[in-house]
Amino acid sequence: MKHNFGAGPCILPKEVFERAAEAVLNFNGLSILEVSHRHKDFVAVMDEAIDLVKKTLNVPSGYSVCYLQGGATLGFTVVALNMMREKKRAGYINTGTWSSGAIKEAKKVGMEVDVFASSEDKKFTYIPKKYAIPDNLDYIHFTSNNTIYGTQFKSFPKTKLPLVSDMSSDIFSKEINVGEFDIIYAGAQKNLGPAGATLYIVKDSVLGKSSSTFMPTYLDLKQQIEKESMLNTPPVFSVYVAMLNLQNLIETGGVGAMQKKNEAKAKLLYDEIDRNELFQGCVEKEDRSDMNVTFLLKDDSRSQEFDVLWKNAGIVGLPGHRSVGGYRASMYNALPIESVKVLVDVMKEFERTY
């Protein structure tokens, strides 16, 4: 039995893997991999995958949901192009690698970017809280959970300006008020499904208002939503598995119940990091992510011994991102608390043998 703490593509519930495997062999007589995306059987899957997002997140009326490809990385461009207005000026909060990527791509399509808040001064180990939001901006963008550094917004920026968030690594992990946002986007592979699909939740009133002269059809959310995510061949399998996972989320109590489980998992591990003298967390306590827990060994020379212990316990995916090192325990929805207990036990065993 493996305990998958990988940062993504992520663990999904076993039942979802089983049902996905069944559909590869038999989806109404065909394989889900060969079915036409225009066939009513798949159109029904797409409709349900969209509907379940609205249901699980209580998406208010006046919002649409669509699935594109290209990951959150293409999302950086999509949101800039679609939210560009006359000012061609946007405000970004820089909290790490993914925010920086979003800023870079916005600039590439001709946006002037005002980074009015950043945690770069302390190597992205906190979430900026004291800042003034300029008002001459087309929109505000932030990354709700910083997958690599292990920080997470516990409350969202308050602004009258349109608000856009990359929620790739914490969407569906906790309750959110979608009504605060104009666009939420997320690569599926962190908490929703397999890689290949990218989720967009979009306020209808922002559609078709871009001032950009460059707007490839595929990147135009208005056209994507009008075509119900079927403008071209959608990532059929990825959407199918996302649908299964959302069904499973509802069957197991929905986002509210999931939030409680995720908070319990995070508390268990952070408590051990704080108690155990051999370890230390990497970021400000109040900004710690419930999804991606980053920590270090105080004495790095013992890392080989620690690595042997957790590997022998069946743990995989624990090394930190190649750009920061240390350790990162990603604890997405499907990771059971039992796996976190195994990791905590390994940390205790390491303490005893030290």
Ligand X SMILES: *Cc1c(COP(=O)(O)O)cnc(C)c1O
Q: Does residue number 143 form part of the binding site for ligand X (CB under 6 A)?
A: yes
- Tell me which residues in 8-47 interact with ligand X (CB under 6 A): 8
Segment 63-82, which members bind ligand X (CB under 6 A)?
71-73
Q: Which lies closer to ligand X via its Cβ, residue 71 or residue 350? A: 71
Q: Could you tell me which stretch among 42-50, 164-172, 232-240, 252-260 binds ligand X (CB under 6 A)?
A: 164-172
Residues 308-347 binding ligand X (CB under 6 A) are none
121 tagged catalytic: no
CB neighbour list of residue 263: distance below 8 Å, 6 or more residues apart: 290
- Catalytic residue at 310? no
The residue among 64 and 292 lying less far from ligand X, judged by its C-beta, is 292
Is 47 one of the catalytic residues?
no
Q: Which amino acid is at 245?
A: N
Q: Among residues 32, 278, 248, 262, which one has the least CA distance to residue 152?
A: 262
- CB of 169 vs ligand X, minimal distance in Å: 4
**What are residue 2's phi and psi, to 5 degrees?**
-100, 150
Nearest-approach distance from CB 104 to ligand X, in angstroms: 12
Q: Which of 170, 174, 190, 310 is catalytic?
A: 190
Nearest residue (CB) to ligand X, 178 versus 250: 178
Total binding residues toward ligand X, as defined by CB under 6 A: 12
In this chain, which of 3, 174, 190, 203 binds ligand X, going by CB under 6 A?
190
- 181 near ligand X (CB under 6 A): no
For the chain, report the end-to-end CA distance as a whole number of angstroms: 26
Task: Name residue 27's beta-bridge partners.
Answer: 30
Q: Say whether residue 199 binds ligand X (CB under 6 A).
A: no
Least Å distance, CB 51 to ligand X, is 23
Comparing CB distances to ligand X, the nearer of 141 and 190 is: 190
Specify whether the CB–CB gap between 181 and 203 falls below 8 A: yes
State the nearest-atom distance from the C-beta of 220 to ligand X, in Å: 19
Instruction: Report the 10 Å Cβ neighbour count for 147.
Output: 27
**173 is an interface residue for ligand X by CB under 6 A:** no
285-289 long-range contacts, CB within 8 A, separation 24+? 286/154, 287/125, 287/126, 287/127, 287/151, 287/152, 287/154, 288/150, 288/151, 288/152, 289/145, 289/146, 289/150, 289/151, 289/152, 289/170
CA distance linking residue 10 with residue 295, whole number of Å: 19
Q: Would you say 100 or 211 has its CB closer to ligand X?
A: 100
Cα–Cα distances in angstroms (integers) from residue 183 to residues 153, 165, 204, 337, in the given order:
17, 6, 10, 32
Closest separation in Å from C-beta 187 to ligand X: 3
Q: What is the largest CA-CA distance in the chain?
A: 64
Least Cα distance to 179 among 200, 163, 157 occurs for: 163
Q: Which two tokens stand for residue 96?
A: 């790490």
Of 42 and 98, nearer to ligand X (C-beta) is 98
Q: What does the per-residue mask of binding to ligand X show for 87-126, with x meaning CB under 6 A?
A: -----------x----------------------------
Residue 342 tokens read as 């195994």
Active site residues: 98, 166, 190
Residues that bind ligand X (CB under 6 A): 8, 71-73, 98, 143, 147, 166, 168-169, 187, 190
